[in-house]
Amino acid sequence: MHFIYDFTLFITELFLKIIACFSPKIKLFVSGRKTVFDTLSEKIKATDQTIWFHAASLGEYEQGLPVMEKIKKQFPLHKIILTFFSPSGYEVRKNNTIAEVTVYLPLDTKTNAKRFITLVHPEMVFFIKYEFWINYLTVLKNNNTPTYLISGIFRENQLFFKWYGGFYRKALDAFSYFFVQNEKSKTLVQKLGKNNVIVSGDTRFDRVVTILEKDNTLDYIAQFKNNTTTIVIGSSWPKDEELLISYINTTKEQVKFIIAPHNIKADQIRQLQNNISKKTVLFSNMENKKLEDYDVFIIDTIGILTKIYSYADIAYVGGGFGNPGVHNILEPATFGIPIIIGSNYSHFTEATELVNLKGCVSISNQNELRNTFDNLITNKDIQKEKGAICSDFVFANKGATKNIMDQISKKSEIKIS
């Protein structure tokens, strides 16, 4: 089975090099890995003490950040090594301030795994949420390196729980501890005969709570808002925008819209702007504009959506009409505002719970979108009630980072504050 796994990776690597000629994203995926070992050799000395965190993409980075910050504070002399699998994570956070070294994770071949771990020589390793790379885990286990899964999620359809999944189950032996998000995940891990597991919760709640402690002021957003009811549309996709544009163009309510699309390619932004009949301004073209005179503000940049949510009276979070589903709803929730999403959210625990609690509303068509927006705009009591549900939900679920750090301290006899 190991041979098949390694052979599949070999074929995948060749296939990706071909696709890279036609896909900008895959080109980044391939080219970004060419200099990884040179970077590690240059920036990590044999005498350095290191701790390695791996995140699949941007969402997992945000999820792991509270633990990274605690580890960084406790071990200021250690170098934090951060790896990403996806370009969508690496390209956005390659210049982060938490890690001394940030690189792509080389593909999981035996050679890459041995070379990477030899160069990094981590004292502790943290995998965030998922991504179970067999060869990396095997080397870590052979080296007796303390390895932890944080904010883990397990589902019955994963290979670990198939009759033919023994090869993958064995790789889980590398983990010193599993910190999972819910009881179902804990039960599944225990079915594999592993009791080194606790329900710690989701560290994303700790992450979003800290947002409230930061300065979220954006003067140009305040100028645009101009004390008017404002709907912030975050991470929208074309399927979301089809419904949203119709509402924006036809609503008679006194309301402003801020749209931060998931994809900010120039041609798609141009098409979005052309489809909106109301007075619209782009972030990239806002200089010397009297922003309060505009109805729609399109944010054709990245990195400021979280701050923008602080100005929202209502939030719409995109992705709920496609795969894998709705984007992060916890950021708007922490500001205590009602949230609207599409119908594809069942794989996201926090979205499911907030829909059940009625702080978040799921819509599936144009009429439902229109009725929900109109109801929240005109009924301030309902708006505040749903917003309070969202805020209370976030604060009720914080604390996962402390649970993780306490357990690591107990098991490793390292005193962690």
* Local confidence band at 412 (pLDDT 50, 70, 90 cut-offs): low
Average pLDDT over residues 219-231: 98
Range 265-292 average pLDDT: 96
Instruction: Give the percent of the chain with pLDDT over 90.
Output: 83
**What pLDDT is stored for residue 53 in this prediction?**
98
| Type of residue found at 191 | K
Within 8 A by CB and 6+ apart from 372, the residues are: 340, 361, 363
In the three-class reduction of DSSP (H, G, I as helix; E, B as strand; rest coil), residue 398 is classed as coil
Q: What is the DSSP string of 102-139?
A: EEEPPP--HHHHHHHHHHH-EEEEEEES----HHHHHH
| H helical segments located in 149-300 | 166-171, 183-191, 203-211, 219-225, 238-250, 266-275
Q: What is the pLDDT of residues 46-102, one digit of tens each?
A: 999 999 999 999 889 999 999 999 999 999 999 999 999 999 899 989 999 999 999
Using one digit for the tens of pLDDT, what is the confidence trace for 108-154? 999 999 999 999 999 999 999 988 999 999 999 999 999 999 999 99
Convert the pLDDT of each residue in 350-405 to its tens digit: 999 999 999 999 999 999 999 999 999 999 999 999 999 999 999 999 999 999 99
**H or E element in which residue 404 lies:** helix 400-412
**Does the structure show a pLDDT above 50 at 417?**
no
- Alpha helices (runs of H) in 251-379, residue ranges in sequence order: 266-275, 305-309, 330-334, 349-357, 366-378
Average pLDDT for the chain: 94
Distance (Å, whole) CA 22 – CA 186? 42
